[in-house]
Structure 1
Amino acid sequence: MTEAPLSPEYEAQIEEQHRQEAERRLTDPLSTATFLDYRGVVERPHLRLISDEIGRIATGHTDRLQIQCPPQVGKSLLAAVWAPFWWLARNPSDKVIVASYGNALAVTRGKQIRKLVQRYGWRYGLELEPGSSAVNDWSLRTGGGVRSAGVGGALTGFPGDVGCVDDSLKSRAEAESRIVRERIWDWYSADFLSRLSPGAPIIMIGTPWHEDDLLQRVLKQDGRVEEGGRWRVVKLPALADVDDPLGREPGAPLSHPKIPVDDTAAMRHFWQQRRKETSARDWVSLYLCDPKPMTEALVSHTLLRERTHLPPPVEPKITAVGVDPSGGGRDMAGIVGGFLGTDDRVYITHDASMVGPSAKWARAVVYLAAEIDADVIVFESNFGGDMAETIIKAAWKTARDKHPGDKRFARVAPRVKSERARKGKLLRADPIAGEFEDDRLRLGAKLPELVDEWVTWRPTDTDSPGRIDASVYLAYHLLPVRNESAEVVQHPAAAPAADPFAERFGYGFLSPGARVFRGPPGRTR
């Protein structure tokens, strides 16, 4: 049976409905993309947030937007392909500059945008100018167009009404090169900015590589909006931090275009696999979006790589959990586990550090203690005193009551021991750094966040990383007392109150700025 043809009036009605829907979807790039290519474009929470932020540029809420994301999460397709097309659909006479780290990638971006114009431009009156065949420099009949260039490439003769910089660095080698970073900055300052018309907005999206890369340097120069500066920054790490822009709980995984949005377990597994496969520095910078300087640290990446043994080659004699409690639920509670091996070395094997209220971090402490069959839980008691001990013991009892058949909690509870630090962080951490150097302290697992704190914390820093303190207390409790005596730099009669760290690790009674002497005479760190 042949269906009757649609009447011209009905066809016109359907066409008008499509036109109105197409116009309505121009609020932001992702809404446009999912309408035009509903089979090929997926919506994820992080992409929705990025798109909404780009949409705020069109309404004049901001003119400098920076998005920091891990690699391969769909940010470039949205911000460097669909966003320029969306902008042209709204502003067909505007010229768009799209820059990427290499000319080949820039050409690909230009080709992708042009293909969108060829496929969907008719809905918005977009049509390529006859003879405009270059994939990296093409124009529309309406006067707008796109110039795509590699970072460092020429932009002369092409004024831009909006600029997009997508991943200015392509590798760790480039990120570590001061010459490359300066070249990128010179290009941005002299070539890119000089081609923008007055009031032209900039979208800068990328993966942070270095504390002095383009993403970080523009923030140092122009500042963040919340600090009275110009740039609105949206940071979306693989695992959420405090005050996450997506509203995730600390530690919650970032969504991924290739993983179903409701499969949190698969997303967490994916990022944890990346964490295991990636060096500590790259995990923290590329995936947690928090690049840090590597100078003046107590230990180096090279040393900690040498001190990592997977799996530990010995059996444990004593197992413990070290805890640096947090106050108020917004700071990081350091929670690390490890053991003293049969070779009289300490191996740090677990890191359960987290942000959260006392009940939450105490629960993490006792579950870690149960997992590794800890003999003792050592916590720092400078702030809160006996309160932390009470909370930890209560958490053990709650876990035991909640899991009555679980053998991990049926045993006698581990001893809970407090330690009070009488010295500043440097004088606490420096002797433990020496134990890494002397190969008495090792890592028995890949613990990139812990490694990052050790290799980036400097004595001049005002913050107090919880993982360092927790590992210090763990090592202090487990390491055997050295047989040899240490060299003392001040007579005990003139000394302040005894410090347990000094008694065990032999840095004696130090005056401010004094160096630490360890082991046999003549050896210093």
Structure 2
Amino acid sequence: MSRTAVSELDHLDDAAVFRQLQAAKRAAARDLLRDPVTLARGLDQTYRMRPHLRVIGEALVGLEAGEYDRLLVITPAQVGKSTTVGEWFPFWWLCVHPEDRVAVTSYSDDLALRRGKAIRKYIGEYGGEFDLSLLAGSEAAQDYDTTQGGGVRSVSLGAGLTGFSVNLLVVDDPHKDRQEAESAKMRERVHDWWSSAALKRLQPDRNAVVAIQTRWHPDDFAGRRLEEDGRLEDGGRWKVVHLPAVADPKFGPDPLGREPGDPLPHPKIPTRNRRALRAWWADVKKTSSVRDWHAIAQGDPQPAEGALVSRDLLRAIRDGITVVEPQKIAVSIDPSGGGRDTAGIIGGFLGADSRVWITHDQSAAMSSAEWSRRACMLAHETNAAVIYVEWNFGRDMCTLAIGTAWKALQDEGRIPKGKLMPMIDAVHAKQGKLLRAEPIAQQMVEDRVRLRGMMTDLENEWATWMPTDADSPGRIDASCVLVYGLIPEVNQGAIVHAPLPTSPQPGQFGRGGQQGGPASAYGRRIGK
């Protein structure tokens, strides 16, 4: 307390001073109870507030206020969601509603017990500041009461809620791992528990549910709840806070207002250090399987069966070692448009082994000004002879955008002034998505298409796109156009002339590549 504040109390008697100090203490306590994140930050000096935790905290306040009664939080692992939602939020709730009964559940008794111990510790250490205290004799770590009539029970899914009325239910990681989430039997156990036990313990006077989880499977706890009850914005019941590791427009407006490709904050990395954040998530992506990256990090699990191309096949055609001489190098573009924000940009070459090697994937959500510049830079860096572009959304616009971008990059000094622009070959798709994609999938089966190493996003699109899907992602379309341009005989249709090829740079692709070798001229056939 400052000297000025002390002097202002000098004229008061001891009782009046005590009352004023107690009032100040209560006011400070009310400030801390603004939301669970503020409470955690104010009481625990090791708690690291980050923008995504603030978003989660605001959603939890909305749950308590009755704006919705179901909240689902989806984030990657180890970003602070469980500590915030599974420990600090129940403590905050009891500070606000000390008479309520809180149940914290998880896939295992050990994890649930850990959450229960943390909440009890907070009540013991800080509860007095908020008129919250444990009932004498409540010693069990997984089941204890407050003097105001409330209580906490922490148990694994499927056990321990009998006879316990629930005002707040916290579901923390309902699935242990991928193995359990992949098991239809184990998933049904979780769904049955939700229907037969969890919902039956909720009380009519006040009830709220918050679920936090890492996604594993399309029909996991989160997937089934959204399928059955729907999202709030669609007229359903669940408020969803979806925070992928890397922002992606396919998930709708980002809760943090991130631009496509921006990284998620991390409690152990300063928010301002964007380079470190990008490096961290890039490393997570690099060291994860394609499937795990999209499910665990992006919160977007995909079916394992029924896709046009299997993940096993995609793994089999990865090859970053074999030395092969490029015969014709190309860049392929599926422009953004037609209701999709992602532009597909794929680079590759036809090798002396008669295979198409896909070497680059620079697809992203981009405007025409952005995708044209990126495609031109890729063509320059790989010494491409041709740029294939699908012009279903406007041939003149596409070719003009590429030509304008090439000239602008030369004016900026990023491409040498004297370097000729590759031939622009505009392709009009006359066949449907499936009819165009199936022959390319067959070329993968026949080992005529290989990937120059792991390409996480491209592989995921091929491994999850279903023949029944109305649309196909940009990476699939761009890779189809690339293969048709370089080995057009896989498709039956009209023959058009390809641009004259250029010789590749020595050693451009693979190790020990040799200079020389004529570049083969190929015609193109476009499906009817």
Pair 1:298-2:308 in alignment: yes
Q: 1:123 aligns with which of 124, 129, 139?
A: 129
Q: In the aligned structure 2, how far is the partner of 1:104 from the partner of 1:270?
A: 29
Q: CA deviation at 1:315?
A: 3.8
Q: CA deviation at 1:506?
A: 9.7
Give SS of 2:222's match: helix
Q: CA deviation at 1:388?
A: 0.5
Pair 1:193-2:171 in alignment: no
Pair 1:453-2:461 in alignment: yes
- Decide whether aligned partners of structure 1 residues 481 and 45 sit closer, same or farther in structure 2, where only a CA change above 3 A counts: same
Pair 1:142-2:148 in alignment: yes
Q: CA deviation at 1:172?
A: 1.1
Residues 308-317 or 275-284, more deviating: 308-317
Q: In the aligned structure 2, how far is the partner of 1:222 from the partner of 1:250?
A: 29
Q: CA deviation at 1:19?
A: 2.6
Residue 512 of structure 2 aligns with which residue?
none
- Decide whether aligned partners of structure 1 residues 47 and 312 sit closer, same or farther in structure 2, where only a CA change above 3 A counts: farther
Cα-to-partner distance string for 1:267-289 (whole Å, 9 max, x where unaligned) = 11111111111111111111111
Residue 487 of structure 2 aligns with which residue?
479
Q: CA deviation at 1:292?
A: 1.7
Cα-to-partner distance string for 1:275-311 (whole Å, 9 max, x where unaligned) = 1111111111111111122332111000100111134
Q: In the aligned structure 2, how far is the partner of 1:142 from the partner of 1:54?
A: 23
For 2:473, the aligned partner's letter is P
Pair 1:444-2:452 in alignment: yes
Q: In the aligned structure 1, how far is the partner of 2:83 from the partner of 2:145?
A: 21
- Decide whether aligned partners of structure 1 residues 311 and 269 sit closer, same or farther in structure 2, where only a CA change above 3 A counts: farther
Q: 1:389 aligns with which of 399, 408, 416?
A: 399
- Decide whether aligned partners of structure 1 residues 508 and 252 sit closer, same or farther in structure 2, where only a CA change above 3 A counts: closer
Residue 212 of structure 2 aligns with which residue?
205
Residue 349 of structure 2 aligns with which residue?
339
For 1:477, the aligned partner's letter is G
Cα-to-partner distance string for 1:126-156 (whole Å, 9 max, x where unaligned) = 1111111111111111111111111222211
Q: CA deviation at 1:368?
A: 2.4
Q: CA deviation at 1:106?
A: 0.6
CA RMSD of superposed structures (Å): 2.4
Q: Is the 8 A contact 1:152 1:187 kept in 2?
A: yes
Residue 220 of structure 1 aligns with which residue?
227
Pair 1:45-2:51 in alignment: yes
Q: Is the 8 A contact 2:100 2:149 kept in 1?
A: yes
Residue 517 of structure 1 aligns with which residue?
none
Give SS of 2:401's match: helix
Q: In the aligned structure 1, how far is the partner of 2:153 from the partner of 2:273?
A: 39
Residues 354-363 or 187-196, more deviating: 354-363
Cα-to-partner distance string for 1:168-195 (whole Å, 9 max, x where unaligned) = 1121111110011001111111111111
Give SS of 1:321's match: strand
Residues 138-147 or 6-15, more deviating: 6-15
Q: Is the 8 A contact 1:340 1:346 kept in 2?
A: yes
- Decide whether aligned partners of structure 1 residues 280 and 65 sit closer, same or farther in structure 2, where only a CA change above 3 A counts: same
Give SS of 1:55's match: helix
Q: Which ranges in structure 2 are unaligned for 5 or more consecutive residues?
A: 497-521
Cα-to-partner distance string for 1:2-35 (whole Å, 9 max, x where unaligned) = x9xx886767655543331221221211011111
Q: Is the 8 A contact 1:323 1:365 kept in 2?
A: yes
Residue 276 of structure 2 aligns with which residue?
266
Residue 249 of structure 1 aligns with which residue?
259
For 1:230, the aligned partner's letter is R
Q: In the aligned structure 2, how far is the partner of 1:397 from the partner of 1:444?
A: 30
Give SS of 2:92's match: helix
- Decide whether aligned partners of structure 1 residues 170 and 311 sit closer, same or farther in structure 2, where only a CA change above 3 A counts: farther
Residue 504 of structure 2 aligns with which residue?
none
Pair 1:235-2:242 in alignment: yes
Q: 1:374 aligns with which of 374, 384, 399?
A: 384
Residue 515 of structure 1 aligns with which residue?
none
Q: 1:348 aligns with which of 358, 383, 388?
A: 358
Residue 170 of structure 1 aligns with which residue?
176
Residue 493 of structure 1 aligns with which residue?
none
Cα-to-partner distance string for 1:312-363 (whole Å, 9 max, x where unaligned) = 5324332221110111785211111122223221121221111132112222
Pair 1:113-2:123 in alignment: no
Q: In the aligned structure 1, how far is the partner of 2:141 from the partner of 2:524?
A: 66
Residue 24 of structure 1 aligns with which residue?
31
Q: Is the 8 A contact 1:378 1:417 kept in 2?
A: yes
Residues 96-105 or 473-482, more deviating: 473-482
For 1:101, the aligned partner's letter is Y
For 2:207, the aligned partner's letter is A
Q: In the aligned structure 2, how far is the partner of 1:69 from the partner of 1:138?
A: 30
Q: Is the 8 A contact 1:431 1:505 kept in 2?
A: no
Q: In the aligned structure 2, how far is the partner of 1:134 from the partner of 1:190?
A: 26
Give SS of 1:27's match: coil
Structure-to-structure mapping, 1:397-412, within 5 angstroms? 397-402=407-412, 404=413, 406=414, 411-412=419-420
Q: 2:287 aligns with which of 265, 274, 277?
A: 277
Residues 158-167 or 362-371, more deviating: 362-371
For 2:291, the aligned partner's letter is R
Q: In the aligned structure 2, how far is the partner of 1:18 from the partner of 1:280?
A: 52
For 1:394, the aligned partner's letter is T
Q: In the aligned structure 2, how far is the partner of 1:187 from the partner of 1:56?
A: 26
Q: Is the 8 A contact 1:421 1:499 kept in 2?
A: no
Q: In the aligned structure 2, how far is the partner of 1:409 from the partner of 1:319?
A: 21
Q: In the aligned structure 2, how far is the partner of 1:151 from the partner of 1:314?
A: 54
Structure 2 length normalisation: TM-score? Answer: 0.88
Q: In the aligned structure 1, how far is the partner of 2:322 from the partner of 2:173?
A: 39
Q: In the aligned structure 1, how far is the partner of 2:355 from the partner of 2:276?
A: 36
Give SS of 1:212's match: coil
Q: Is the 8 A contact 2:390 2:429 kept in 1?
A: yes
Q: CA deviation at 1:237?
A: 0.6
Q: 1:320 aligns with which of 318, 326, 330?
A: 330
Give SS of 1:165's match: strand
Q: Which ranges in structure 1 are unaligned for 5 or more consecutive residues?
A: 489-496, 510-525
For 1:350, the aligned partner's letter is H
For 1:458, the aligned partner's letter is M
- Decide whether aligned partners of structure 1 residues 14 and 401 sit closer, same or farther in structure 2, where only a CA change above 3 A counts: farther
For 1:118, the aligned partner's letter is G
Q: CA deviation at 1:409?
A: 6.9
Give SS of 1:320's match: strand
Q: In the aligned structure 1, how far is the partner of 2:93 from the partner of 2:455?
A: 43
Q: Is the 8 A contact 1:322 1:379 kept in 2?
A: yes
- Decide whether aligned partners of structure 1 residues 92 and 408 sit closer, same or farther in structure 2, where only a CA change above 3 A counts: farther
Q: In the aligned structure 2, how far is the partner of 1:167 from the partner of 1:247?
A: 26
Pair 1:89-2:95 in alignment: yes
- Decide whether aligned partners of structure 1 residues 361 and 506 sit closer, same or farther in structure 2, where only a CA change above 3 A counts: closer
Residue 521 of structure 1 aligns with which residue?
none
Q: In the aligned structure 2, how far is the partner of 1:215 from the partner of 1:380?
A: 37
Q: Is the 8 A contact 2:98 2:148 kept in 1?
A: yes
Pair 1:361-2:371 in alignment: yes
Q: Is the 8 A contact 2:430 2:527 kept in 1?
A: no
- Decide whether aligned partners of structure 1 residues 154 and 380 sit closer, same or farther in structure 2, where only a CA change above 3 A counts: same
